[in-house]
Copies of this chain bind each other. A is one copy, B any other.
Amino acid sequence: MARPAGLSGFPEWLPGERIVEQHVLDSLRRTFELHGFGSLETRAVEPLDQLLRKGEIDKEVYVLRRIHAEEGDAGLGLHFDLTVPFARYVLERSGHIEFPFRRYQIQKVWRGERPQDGRYREFTQADIDIVDRDTLSFHHEVDLPLVMLEAFAALPFPQVTMHVNNRKLAEGFYRGVGADDPSVVLRAIDKLDKIGPDKVRDQLRETGLTDTAAAACLALAGISAADASFADEVSALGVKDPLLDEGLDELVRVIDAAAELAPGRLVADLKIARGLDYYTGTVYETVLHGHEDLGSVCSGGRYDALASDGKSTYPGVGLSVGVSRILGRLLRTGAVMATRSVPTCVLVAVDHESTRAASNAVARSLRSRGIATEVAPSAAKFGKQIKHADRRGIPFVWFPSDDTVKDLSTGEQLPADPQAWSPPEALLRPAVTAEELHQ
């Protein structure tokens, strides 16, 4: 068998890179659980009609077929996000769930898109959502981005800025300037970064807006601020609409809370549209400083009906982190790395195969105090055993013949008691170092 080549779009990390990923996922989990979000995992597959029901056929779903079955037996595809399966799970288990339901979900998703930088066919997302039955209090739209900003602040990533808008504000405004279908205006504004203001203006005119109305919509999209001052700018445009007022009030509340609790990390940005139709309130996008070309690395919003079973609807608010997209970039550029490629803290040397049991005994003693320990695989020359540790970044080598422990970073070798010795806390586990932390 020849050496296989990697599969484009299906990233796999080396052991040291995987340690960085574990660190990131553990950290996300810790923050989410600290805020009372419970873990959920859904199956990888959904019925195809569910996956395609929002017309999201552009997601390039992977369809499954059992190899021995007649064509198309399964009617199943791999999920392309964690929202569709979550909505289905909530409906299926609504009788067994307490609402409001706070869950986080960290899983792989699959999209058969053309692989490119920052676009994978298999990648890990980390979602948090709060879903309630029939009604969901607005304050969750204030709370959720703060949880996520706290999660990002704990990660070995560059600083992020979350850009926030409100669908009610936008739709009320568009209606206020005379748009028959605000969603058409929204879709045009969504293209602002791609095609520029002139072409957007042309499109707005084509939808039947007057020059003045189109100009107002573009002026609205130009408003951005890290504090509530944006509200005056919106008011200055002189558009009147009750939905606009409601949305404006909501966005001010989000911005005010963030200004106090996560200063500088969240800005009102009135051009944020989010393509998806189902958002109905606050919408969020997040950029990673220095990696703006990746696009939004954490997006979401408020939806009034995640799902409905005829009897109840389930409104919610959610945010989704593109973990693989961020990690792929930061690992490739060396911006984050692990201090070693193995969990091991101590390698116990072996003098001779006949004394391996003595080395095993030292290892058991260290492990009983939570110190990750390996025993040398062979009784090679000590130089070779030390090299074995050094190559993996294992910080200590233990010599059982005279119970001494060598610190490979200093070269110092000192007597030590296997029943009592402990490494410095910082070396107990591999750490993750970041080139430019939260700059």
Contacts and interface: CB of A to CB of B under 8 A. Distances in A.
B4 A91 contact: yes
A112 B78 CA distance: 14
A309 B3 contact: yes
Interface string A79-121: 0000000001101111011101011000010101000000000
Given A18-B39, A36-B343, A110-B44, A1 B307 contact: yes
A208 interface: no
Interface in A11-64: 11-15, 18-19, 21-22, 33-45, 47, 50, 52, 57, 60-64
Contact of A91 (B1, B41, B143): B1
A370 interface: yes
Contacts of A112: 66-69, 74
Contact of A41 (B13, B35, B132): B13
Interface string A295-318: 000000000000111100000000
Nearest to A58: B68
Interface size class of A (residues with CB under 8 A): 35 or more
Interface stretch (A174-182, A199-207, A372-380): A372-380
Contacts of A10: 43, 45
Contacts of A377: 100, 132, 137, 140
A361 to B, nearest CB: 10
A373 B33 CA distance: 8
Given A12-B43, A122-B44, A98 B33 contact: no
B67 A343 contact: no
A65 B65 CA distance: 8
Contact of A38 (B100, B341, B391): B341
Contacts of A65: 62-63, 65
Contacts of A356: 139
Contacts of A360: 143
A291 interface: no
A38 B343 contact: yes
A7 B60 contact: no
Of A93, A370, A392, most B-chain CB atoms within 10 Å:
A93
In the A-B complex, the 9 residue pairs with the smallest Cβ-Cβ separation, listed nearest first, are: A36-B374, A66-B112, A33-B343, A36-B344, A10-B43, A61-B67, A15-B38, A62-B64, A38-B342
Given A7-B43, A13-B41, A64-B64, 11 more contacts: A7-B45, A12-B43, A21-B41, A22-B39, A34-B367, A34-B373, A44-B122, A60-B66, A62-B64, A69-B112, A132-B377
